[in-house]
């Protein structure tokens, strides 16, 4: 049985959960890994002919929802990248101060 464009897009939308509201980057990345795996399974499986699809209003709505969810993931992952970057800068500064303090002790 061939999937309809609408059914396949709904599955893709369902596979793209909204990111969890958390400050724990590990939890965020684990959730993202689940989304990636679920979406890859859909891409690897049976797909409708998206190029020849007639775009109905219902399909547009699903695409809009999928795009909204994708944008939320982009924002959440960009925020996590900023946090990790700031943490790395902080660690580098602490190491510099530590080396400077140790050098002054001699």
Taking residues 49-72, what's their average pLDDT? 84
- Per-residue pLDDT band for 18 (boundaries 50, 70, 90) equals very high
* Centroid of chain to Cα 90: 25
Q: 97 or 42: whose pLDDT is higher?
A: 42
Residues written for the chain: 106
What average pLDDT does the chain have?
86
Of the listed ranges 22-26, 73-77, 89-93, the least confidently predicted one is 89-93
Of 3-7, 39-43, 52-56, 94-98, the range with the highest mean pLDDT is 39-43
Judged against a pLDDT cut of 70, whether residue 104 lies above it is answered with no
Q: What is the pLDDT, as a whole number, of residue 66?
A: 95
Say how many CA atoms lie within 13 Å of 73 toward its Cβ: 19
Of 20-34, 37-51, 53-67, the range with the highest mean pLDDT is 20-34
CA-to-CA distance for 99 and 106, rounded, in angstroms? Answer: 11
């Amino acid at each position: 049985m061939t999937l309809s464009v609408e059914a396949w897009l709904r599955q893709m939308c369902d596979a793209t959960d909204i990111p969890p509201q958390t400050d724990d980057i590990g939890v965020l990345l684990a959730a993202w890994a689940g989304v990636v795996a679920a979406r890859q399974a859909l891409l690897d499986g049976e797909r409708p002919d998206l190029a020849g699809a007639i775009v109905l209003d219902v399909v547009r709505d699903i695409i809009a929802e999928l795009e909204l969810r994708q944008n939320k993931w982009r924002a959440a992952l960009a925020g996590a990248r900023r946090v990790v970057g700031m943490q790395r800068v902080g660690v580098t500064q602490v190491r510099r101060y530590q080396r400077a303090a140790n050098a002054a002790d001699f």
